[in-house]
Amino acid sequence: MIDLRCYFVTGTGPDVVERAREAAAGGAGVIQVRSKPISARELHSLAAAVAAAVRSVSPTARVLVDDRLDVALALRDAGAGIHGVHLGQDDLDVRAARHLLGPDVVIGLTTGTRELVEAANRDADVLDYIGCGPFRATPTKDSGRAPIGLEGYPALVAASELPLVAIGDVTADDACDLARAGVDGVAIVRGIMHADDPRAYARRVVAEFDRGARESGGGSLKG
């Protein structure tokens, strides 16, 4: 089981490792190490540090590397506590990634339109979840896709055979409404990167997501 309710995507800054630790302590079930622009060597060092920090407070949280399958493979070979990768549409094919990584590693894929969601369904046997956005326009990543908005998610959830995580300027204030819309989790960058207390912020995301899931009659832990 992957707890997708609070999915922290790291940004840039001198305190990324500590924020990842605090987010995991507050209940973030997934930490994706993303820091662009960054070299493969720098990402390797950062992801190793994040994995060690997260493991110290949450043995169940999953640490994923953004885009770079080679970095994830190297870290896993070194026993660094990396659980998988999150791939974009232009990254290595997910079936090739699964072949290289093996059956027990988490693989996520970026989507954001019905067509991309339906395409991901064809790889549902090798994927663990999809990210789907942007929820709103966001300065952290320009996908070129139109914002989905709250009203757009129910149809995408219905179309997906995989757990679906909303991303794109999502905040703790949105978690309840997005859970009601049927998503399996919310990915947050700036909310946690800018929070005065990342642990409390992550805890609030989980609580709000669970509230929305209860009100919609859904579960609170999927994956």
pLDDT band at 25 (very low <50, low <70, confident <90, very high): very high
- pTM to 2 decimal places: 0.95
Q: For residue 86, which phi and psi values (nearest 5 degrees)? A: -115, 125
DSSP-derived pairing of the beta strands 185-188 and 6-9: parallel
Instruction: Give CATH for domain 6-215.
Output: 3.20.20.70
Q: For residue 8, which phi and psi values (nearest 5 degrees)? A: -95, 120
Residue 222: pLDDT above 80? no
What pLDDT does residue 141 have? 67
What pLDDT does residue 8 have? 98
Residue 221: pLDDT above 50? no
Residue 223: pLDDT above 80? no
Residue 210: pLDDT above 70? yes
